[in-house]
Amino acid sequence: MEIDVFTLFPAAFGWFARQHHVVSALAHGHALGYVNYRDHTPLRAGQVDDTPFGGGAGMVLRVDVVEAALRARYGIDPVVLPERRRVLALAPSGQLLDESLVSELAAEPALTLLCGRYEGFDERIIEHFSSGCLSIGRYVLSGGELAAMVVVDAVLRKLPGALGDATSPVEESFSTALEGAPEYPHYTRPADHRGWRVPEVLLSGHHARIREWRLAQSRSRATGRPLP
Ligand code: ADE
């Protein structure tokens, strides 16, 4: 899979790009690239945004700047881009990311993520250059970069090679193996810490009973665990 992230802050991805599963995914032939809108702006002094028509606070990412960046990267008029690859603008108003959408995105051959900043995008970017908007939750971040990392992280771990042979994402939270429920609790040594004992069944070596217990635990978490 080929993922391109369009951003004003490619340096924000430095730590993320060094993480083991990202490095492994890239070593297995997947690609993750960054395009800085500012490198392609046709405007003077690196301008990329402007004040909103009609007034209001903040700055809006300009449609001509995003068009120039997309053209530079793909060499085509970006209005046809969504026919060739999924182009997703990251915005709090978008479709909420969940595990089934992550699987859908992981099946794409190529993905383009557009990060907004400040007040977000000129709406014409979304209307004409994107396949739609994607949100990681109903709250407002200062920009799309953290959201893009969330999306790329969740997508990459679905791809062959990202987690290595020893680890499998088959039986993890929200997988069909767990009937779409969150994962069961895990324990490791020591088996007893301050009298907090690991459930006996996990020490029993009885695989069928362990599996049954884990499924029951998963099901009991199906609606999430509310904060007290
Ligand atoms: N940009 C700002 N807030 C966001 C959110 N909640 N999801 C995706 N992109 C965003």
Q: Supply the CATH number for residue 191's domain.
A: 1.10.1270.20
Same domain, 35 and 120: yes
| Ligand 1 binding pocket mutation candidate from 118, 136, 142, 145 (most atoms within 8 A of CB) | 136
pTM strictly above 0.85: yes
Helix (H, G, I), strand (E, B) or coil at 174: coil
The tally of domains found in the chain comes to: 2
DSSP 117: B
Distance CA 162, CA 154 (A): 11
Assigned domain for 167 exists: no
Residue of the CA atom closest to atom 6 of ligand 1? 92
CB–CB of 8/40 below 8 Å? no
CB–CB of 63/122 below 8 Å? yes
pLDDT of residue 169: 66
Distance CA 219, CA 200 (A): 19
Residue of the CA atom closest to atom 10 of ligand 1? 91
pLDDT of residue 81: 98
Assigned domain for 141 exists: yes
Summary mean pLDDT of the chain: 94
Residue of the CA atom closest to atom 2 of ligand 1? 141
> Helical H runs in the chain?
14-17, 20-27, 63-74, 81-84, 99-106, 123-129, 145-156, 200-203, 207-220
CATH number at residue 88: 3.40.1280.10
Residue of the CA atom closest to atom 4 of ligand 1? 92
Residue numbers of the chain with a pLDDT score lower than 70: 164-170
Determine the residue type at 111: L
- The per-residue pLDDT for range 191-214, each reduced to its tens digit, is 999 999 999 999 999 999 999 999
CA of 188 to the centre of ligand 1 (A): 36
Q: Whose CA is closest to 86, among 148, 133, 146, 33?
A: 133
Tokens of 140: 């407002």
Q: Which domain holds residue 188?
A: 176-223
Q: Whose CA is closest to 174, among 121, 101, 105?
A: 101
Distance CA 13, CA 15 (A): 6
pLDDT of residue 168: 61
pLDDT of residue 165: 56
Ligand 1 residue neighbourhood (C-beta within 6 Å): 90-92, 116, 135-137, 139-141, 144, 147
Same domain, 51 and 150: yes
- The per-residue pLDDT for range 142-177, each reduced to its tens digit, is 999 999 999 999 999 999 877 765 456 667 888 888
Distance CA 125, CA 115 (A): 11
pLDDT of residue 205: 97
CA of 152 to the centre of ligand 1 (A): 14
